[in-house]
Amino acid sequence: MQDKDNTTHFGFKEIPTDQKVDAVAQVFHSVAAKYDIMNDLMSGGIHRLWKRHTISQSGVRAGQKVLDIAGGTGDLTAKFSRLVGQSGQVILADINDSMLKVGRDKLANMGVVGNVQCVQANAEELPFPDNTFDCITIAFGLRNVTDKSKALASMQRVLKPGGRLLVLEFSKPETECLSTIYDQYSFRLLPFMGKIIANDSESYRYLAESIRMHPDQETLKGMMEEVGFERVTYQNMTGGIVALHKGFKF
């Protein structure tokens, strides 16, 4: 969210808007190599269940075309590749070349080839024609985008009529008690784990702060509706720590 002085938030800091892409890029360049390990440790492996549920809500079937934005190390892409089959296509898109390289290597090691293409792309200006994809996902990436409304509008543009967008993202816990516990975990344990495992506490401090700055469930629902998505709903998971938003283009 950016203000009239042309600044935006980077975690809890305010920085010039035109510097955010580079600032976020440095975070993910730093964490790319340990990203999968840290995801498992930080969530206790539960992120795999969140992603599995997202896949189950996608409605993706053989022959379709899927865009996995901020797809990072390719968890969703690998599963979509199997669902669409050789007659379909999955595009793994990420703005960060370090993350994209890790994802490309991981998919190759898994034998996921043929129907997957990797593209370095900014979610705010997706380099695809109108009405291209049957399904678009963005998992744990929207909070790092500078102009979220612009990115959502770009997604709506490249989605086919009848297609759906799935936004999996950290959100606002449903109770104050859970919120307090989560804050202690996020601001104390995450940076410590980042220092021990990835030798980078500051990047994980930013990631914790970026979660707190992300729009809550109802606000994000409204943002999706404002750019043209219809039948927008969301489902809280793990007490609202994570939410899955779903919207359709008609």
Q: What is the pLDDT of residue 38?
A: 72
- Whether 6 has a binding-site annotation, put simply, is no
28 pLDDT higher than 80? no
Average pLDDT over residues 180-198: 84
Assess contact for 30 and 99: CB atoms under 8 A: no
196 vs 132: which has the higher pLDDT: 132
Query: 238 among the known binding-site residues?
Result: no
Confidence of residue 3 (pLDDT cuts 50, 70, 90): very low
Nearest-angstrom CA–CA distance, 170 and 139: 9
Residue 123 assigned ligand-binding role: yes
Ranked by mean pLDDT, the top range of 43-52, 108-117, 230-239 is 230-239
Q: Is the pLDDT of residue 176 over 60?
A: yes
Residues 6+ apart with CB under 8 A from 181: none
216 labelled as ligand-binding? no
Tokens of residue 87, six digits: 């007659």
Q: Which is higher by pLDDT, 35 or 120?
A: 120
Region 230-235: mean pLDDT is 98
Task: Tell me which long-range contacts 37-46 makes (C-beta under 8 A, separation of at least 24).
Answer: 37/197, 38/193, 38/194, 38/197, 38/198, 38/204, 41/193, 41/197, 42/190, 42/193, 46/238
pLDDT number for residue 2:
46
More confident: 95 or 43 = 95
What's the pLDDT at 5? 60
User: With 80 as the cut, is the pLDDT of residue 4 above it?
Assistant: no
Give the model's pLDDT for residue 134: 98
In percent, the amount of the chain with pLDDT more than 90 equals 66
> 9-175+204-248, which class in CATH?
alpha beta
Tell me which DSSP letter residue 49 carries.
Answer: H
Average the pLDDT over 135-161 and give the result: 97
Phi, psi angles (nearest 5°) of residue 27: -60, -50
Residue type, 227: V
Element (H, E) at 170: strand 159-170
- Output the six-digit token pair for 136: 């678009």
Question: Over the stretch 30-85, which tens digit does the pLDDT of each residue have?
Answer: 777 777 777 777 788 899 999 999 999 999 999 999 999 999 889 999 999 999 99
Of the candidates 169, 139, 187, 138, the residue with the CA atom closest to the CA atom of residue 12? 187
pLDDT for the residue 1:
47
> Please, what is the end-to-end C-alpha distance for the chain in angstroms?
27
Alpha carbons within 13 A on the beta-carbon side of 67:
29
pLDDT of residue 74: 92
Residue 43 pLDDT? 80
Quote the pTM value.
0.88
